[in-house]
Amino acid sequence: MKILIFSWRDIKNPKSGGAEVLTHEMAKRWVKRGHQVSLVSARFPGSKASETTDGIKIFRPAKFFQYSPFSYLLYLIRTAKFYQKNLTGKYDIIVDQVHGLPFFTPFYVKEKVILFPLEVAKEIWRYEIPFPFWPFGWLLEFAYIKLFRNRPFLTISPSTAKDLKNLGVKNVSIVTPGISLQPQPSIPRKSQSPLIVSLSRLTPMKRIEATIRAFKIISNDFPRAKLLLIGQGRKSYLQKLKAEIKKSKLTRKVIFTSFVREKKKQEFLSQAWVLVSTSLHEGWGLNVIEAATCGTPAVVYRVPGLVDAVQDRKTGVICKVNTPEELAKEVARILTNASLRKKFSQNALEYSRQFDWEKSAKEGLAVLKKIVA
C-alpha cells in the first residue's frame, strides 16, 4: 500500500512526544514490510522542506505556531494546497492523525481517509491552551468528531474509543501501542530507600502539583523517601512546581532531571519502588508500561488512558478517588508491604512483555487494509 499520514509534528521536531514516537515506530515498520509511507508535517526552526527518515518521506509544507487559530487555519490552507499540487492521487489511504487539531482531510483529499485521534482532549484544552483560544480548540474537536462520525476511526485505548462512541462515531478500531524499552530479564535491584518516580512532560494537564502534595504526606511517614520528577516542559509551570516544593519544605527530597535518554530513564525506573501519575487525561499510559518493563508498579489517578494501562491491584493501583490523600495512602501501602510490592513488581514486568511495536504495526496495518479493500 501507499500510505500518507498527516501529523502536526514529526519525530525530528524538538517538541515531539509520545504521539510522534507512536507514528514513527509504526510507519517505519510498515516501510520494512514493503509499503510506501509518507508523512505531511509542519516546519520548525532548522528543518528541511522534505527529507527521508527510516524510509519515511517527510514533507513540511509550512510553519505552524501553537496557540494561534489564525496560524492553524493558514497552515491548513497551505497544507491542502501542497497536497493538491504535489500528492493528490498518489496514495491508497490517508491517515489523519488528529492530535488535538484535525487536518479536515476528507474535504480535500481523493483517497480513503481514516481519522486517528490518540485521545479526545475535552477539558485538556482548558488546562493547556490560554484563553481565549482554548474554547476554539474544544469546539473544533467536538465539530470534527460529529462531522466525520460516519467515517472509520483508529485510536489507542478503550477509553478513547468509548469517548468517540459517546460522540456518535460508529466505526472505531484500537491498536495498542508498543514499547521502546526492553523488559528486564528479572526485577532489578531497587534503591536502598524508597524512590518514587513521576515520568511525564511538565505541563498543567499532568497536575504534578498533586503528586508533590501526595509526596508531602508520604514523606511524613517515610522521611528517607525521595521523589524524582523526570521530564521537561514549560518554564512557567516548572517555576510553579518549584514554588510548591519550597512551600512544602521538600527542596532536599524532590529531584528534577529534565530530559533523559532511554538508557538513563531505564536506570531511574529500575531503581524506583513506585511510579505515580496524577494526569488529567491520557490517550494511553506509556509511562506506566515503561515503568513496568523495570518491574516498577504504578499508582495512578482514575482517568482515561491510565485505567487502560494499569491492571488494578495486579500491576499497580488505580485510585478510587483522585486526590493527593488517596494517592499517598496507596503508595504508602506498597512501600510498607514488601510482599505486595514484590507481587506487583513481578506482575508488572510480565505484563510489559506483551507490548511490542511489531504487533502494533501489524494491527494498524490490518485496519488500513480493510478500509482500502
The pLDDT value recorded for residue 9 is 92
Is pLDDT of 64 > 90?
A: no
C-alpha span between 344 and 296 (Å, rounded): 8
> Across 101-110, 127-136, 327-336, which has the greatest mean pLDDT?
327-336
What one-character-per-residue DSSP string does 238-290 give? Answer: HHHHHHHHHHTT-TTTEEEEES--HHHHHHHHHH-SEEEE--S--S--HHHHH
d(C-alpha 200, C-alpha 369), whole Å: 34
CATH architecture of the domain 195-352 equals: 3-Layer(aba) Sandwich (3.40)
Q: Quote the pTM value.
A: 0.92
Domain 2-178+356-372: give its CATH superfamily: Glycogen Phosphorylase B; (3.40.50.2000)
Give the model's confidence band at 131: pLDDT under 50 very low, under 70 low, under 90 confident, else very high.
Answer: confident
3-state helix, strand, coil in the chain (%, to 5): 45, 15, 40
pLDDT of residue 98: 85
In whole angstroms, give the CA distance from residue 202 to residue 234. 6
Contacts of 85 (CB under 8 A, 6+ apart): none
> Does the pLDDT at position 250 exceed 80?
yes
Q: Where in the chain is the domain with CATH 3.40.50.2000?
A: 2-178+356-372, 195-352
Query: How high is the pLDDT of residue 19?
Result: 87
pLDDT at residue 13 is higher than 80: yes
Q: How far apart are the C-alpha atoms of 342 and 114, rounded to whole Å?
A: 43
The band of 51, judged by pLDDT with boundaries at 50, 70 and 90, is very high
d(CA 245, CA 216): 9
Chain center to CA of 34: 28
Distance CA 112, CA 70 (A): 28
Return the C-alpha cell found at 82. Answer: 501542497
